[in-house]
Chains A and B, each alone.
Chain A
Amino acid sequence: MDDVKTDSVGIVTPQRAHFAQPLALRCGATLSDYDLIYETYGTLNAAKSNAILICHALSGSHHVAGSYAGEPKNTGWWNNIVGPGRPFDTDRFFIVGVNNLGGCHGSTGPATINPATGKPWGADFPLVAVIDWVHAQARLADHLGIDAWAAVIGGSLGGMQALRWTITYPERIRHALVIAAAPRLTAQNIAFNDVARQAILTDPDFHGGHYYEHGVVPRRGLRLARMLGHITYLSDDAMATKFGRELRAGELRFHFGIEFEIESYLRYQGDKFADYFDANTYLLMTKALDYFDPARECNGDLSATMAKANAKFLVVSFTTDWRFSPARSREIVRALLDNHLDVSYAEITSPHGHDSFLMEDAHYHAILRSYLENIGL
């Protein structure tokens, strides 16, 4: 197993699909038409039975694997797992990554021109929910000629989309890989999201979400939001190991600049993020997280909700993930058990907190690889 030759998918090119059929959204609004930007890796087989959808989380995109021509460093966010011979094996599967509605990587979102006003949507872009993304992804599947996904896979908010697929389109998904996810957010999760939103909403450059027209971006707010988020993605232990109380200058300097290494790291992460991510998208993604609660349809009874599902499941959690802890994954498992559904559950020992799902860990990758190898085509 270890001597399998693996490789990146190499140079990839995003594609765009236009959907002219209106999409009724969870919030009551309707998108008259929209674009989705996506990438594919591998080849769809004649039976169209080898398609896998990878759903992105809060800050991800359609660029899951490979890199762009002339931009060798612009590799996909899950490049370590997708490719020939890799756990998500492109020699066997046809893998699709899509930027969700409301995103800022090319799909219709807040920075797109609102046909009604001729100006960017900005904060007027409807608040999309996970179920809206799943409906849009289903239309992309239609567009690609895929009746049923061999698997839908996602971590965190991506895992929630995989879970939603099994409830909303039970006949169109054979396997769901729900990684580092939760069936709904806790009050604490929502609280963190709201602090992040408040950072953006109160930035003087936010202009009620219409900052595009003012030629500015609420950079300070977005940076703070990301810094806060980043703390919740790491574990206390991982931070202690990586940064401890290390001082930049080797001694206390008694000022508000960067003194501790962790400050340097967080500010760097915040700055990097604020350079490329859209604040309106960040607001919208955190709201989609907050709203996600499929059990609401059955008065909070997740087991009754999952009665609609037919898929087989792999649920994965990470020991040090305190954002969506193993106990949250076990809530999903329990609802699946109540419905006698096929499910395996792996609790991966990892020091990296919520971010573990993106890390290259031999055991974690072996679990995913082995599960996918057993999916019949």
Chain B
Amino acid sequence: MNTRLPDRADFTAIASWVRSGARVLDLGCGDGTLLRYLAEQRDISGYGVEIDNDGVLACVRHNVNVLQGDIERGLSDFADGSFDYVILSQTLQAVKNSEHVVREMLRVGREGIVTFPNFGYWRNRLQVMLGNMPISDNLPYSWYDTPNIHLCTVADFEDFCTDHGVRILERIVIRNGGTVTLLPNLLGSLAVYRFERD
């Protein structure tokens, strides 16, 4: 799972959506930075799920509730509707069974929030056109050592939602920390969505 979050703009977007005092589950929570940020900004309570030892240790060190586990194996430890929000921050592109994970998010949470690097961003398209897999702030890995196996574009994700009974409630597309409204699939590098079951 990604423990490095190069762009904090998605945190700001998430904090602007999350209700004060909400119960939050952060899947692939890394070192717990987002949960700490939300606790500071929105007084949330909740837990992170993290598979990696270093991430788990960092969360314990930062006094963030963390449960070591593999989100790919489902969220069977969590009861239906037990969270206000289930967040998947810059992790969707790294999970094997994206459909299953999104379904589980909406079983356990009333709303889901995902952020992912937009593969449709023009700089990514340009690098591919010039003949190489893109490398950027949001996609910092070489093709041979990337955890990212399910990269998608803003348009792809929205099609996925339509096909899977997921209703998008809000979307923010970001570039260089600023919100992109014009041609987001082309001009935005990072996408943030809030959604619920249709």
Question: Which A residues are in CB contact (< 8 Å) with B63?
Answer: 374
For A346, give its contact among B56, B64, B77, B82 (CB under 8 Å): B56
Please determine whether A345 and B60 come into contact, CB atoms closer than 8 angstroms.
no
Question: Which A residues are in CB contact (< 8 Å) with B60?
Answer: 314, 344, 346, 367, 370-371, 374
For B65, give its contact among A342, A363, A367 (CB under 8 Å): A342
Q: Answer whether residue A333 sits at the interface, using C-beta atoms and an 8 A cutoff.
A: yes
Question: Which B residues are in CB contact (< 8 Å) with A344?
Answer: 56, 59-60, 64-67
Residue of A nearest to B32 (CB): A344
Please determine whether B67 and A367 come into contact, CB atoms closer than 8 angstroms.
no
Residue of B nearest to A317 (CB): B68
Residue of A nearest to B61 (CB): A370
Please determine whether A363 and B57 come into contact, CB atoms closer than 8 angstroms.
yes
For A347, give its contact among B59, B68, B79 (CB under 8 Å): B68
Residue of B nearest to A341 (CB): B65
Q: What CA separation (Å) do A368 and B47 show in the bound complex?
A: 18
Please determine whether A330 and B77 come into contact, CB atoms closer than 8 angstroms.
yes
Please determine whether A343 and B67 come into contact, CB atoms closer than 8 angstroms.
yes
Please determine whether B77 and A337 come into contact, CB atoms closer than 8 angstroms.
yes
Please determine whether A337 and B82 come into contact, CB atoms closer than 8 angstroms.
yes
Question: Which A residues are in CB contact (< 8 Å) with B53?
Answer: 349, 363
Q: Answer whether residue A213 sits at the interface, using C-beta atoms and an 8 A cutoff.
A: no
Question: Which A residues are in CB contact (< 8 Å) with B68?
Answer: 345-347
Please determine whether A367 and B78 come into contact, CB atoms closer than 8 angstroms.
no
Q: Answer whether residue B45 sits at the interface, using C-beta atoms and an 8 A cutoff.
A: yes
- A356 → chain B closest CB, angstroms: 14
Question: Which B residues are in CB contact (< 8 Å) with A346?
Answer: 56-57, 60, 68
- A376 → chain B closest CB, angstroms: 10
Count residues of B near A (Cβ-Cβ below 8 Å).
20
Segment 66-111 of B: residues with Cβ below 8 Å from A: 66-69, 77-79, 82
Q: Answer whether residue A216 sits at the interface, using C-beta atoms and an 8 A cutoff.
A: no
Q: What CA separation (Å) do A314 and B68 show in the bound complex?
A: 11
Question: Which A residues are in CB contact (< 8 Å) with B78?
Answer: 337
Question: Which B residues are in CB contact (< 8 Å) with A340?
Answer: 23, 45
Q: Answer whether residue A366 sits at the interface, using C-beta atoms and an 8 A cutoff.
A: yes
Question: Which B residues are in CB contact (< 8 Å) with A333?
Answer: 67, 77
Q: Answer whether residue A142 sits at the interface, using C-beta atoms and an 8 A cutoff.
A: no
Q: What CA separation (Å) do A373 and B62 show in the bound complex?
A: 10
For B30-68 the 0/1 string (1 means CB < 8 A from A) is 000000000000000101000001001101110111111
Question: Which B residues are in CB contact (< 8 Å) with A347?
Answer: 68-69
Q: Answer whether residue A334 sits at the interface, using C-beta atoms and an 8 A cutoff.
A: yes
For A29-52 the 0/1 string (1 means CB < 8 A from B) is 000000000000000000000000
Question: Which A residues are in CB contact (< 8 Å) with B64?
Answer: 344
- B119 → chain A closest CB, angstroms: 33
Please determine whether A345 and B57 come into contact, CB atoms closer than 8 angstroms.
no
- A144 → chain B closest CB, angstroms: 28
Segment 319-352 of A: residues with Cβ below 8 Å from B: 330, 333-334, 337-338, 340, 342-347, 349
Question: Which B residues are in CB contact (< 8 Å) with A373?
Answer: 61
For A345, give its contact among B45, B61, B66 (CB under 8 Å): B66
Q: What CA separation (Å) do A346 and B68 show in the bound complex?
A: 5
Q: What CA separation (Å) do A344 and B62 show in the bound complex?
A: 12
Question: Which A residues are in CB contact (< 8 Å) with B56?
Answer: 344, 346, 367
Question: Which A residues are in CB contact (< 8 Å) with B66?
Answer: 344-345
Residue of B nearest to A376 (CB): B63
Please determine whether A345 and B79 come into contact, CB atoms closer than 8 angstroms.
no
Q: What CA separation (Å) do A343 and B45 show in the bound complex?
A: 11
Residue of A nearest to B23 (CB): A340
- A190 → chain B closest CB, angstroms: 25
Residue of A nearest to B46 (CB): A340
- B60 → chain A closest CB, angstroms: 5
- B148 → chain A closest CB, angstroms: 25
Segment 187-236 of A: residues with Cβ below 8 Å from B: none
Question: Which B residues are in CB contact (< 8 Å) with A314?
Answer: 60
What are the nearest 4 A-B pairs in CB distance? Answer: A370-B61, A345-B67, A370-B60, A374-B63
Task: Show 6 residue pairs from A and B whose CB-CB distance is below 8 angstroms, ordered by the A residue.
Answer: A344-B60, A344-B65, A344-B66, A344-B67, A345-B67, A367-B57
Q: A330-B77, A346-B57, A371-B60 are in contact. List 4 more A-B contacts (CB 8 A).
A: A337-B82, A343-B65, A344-B67, A366-B57
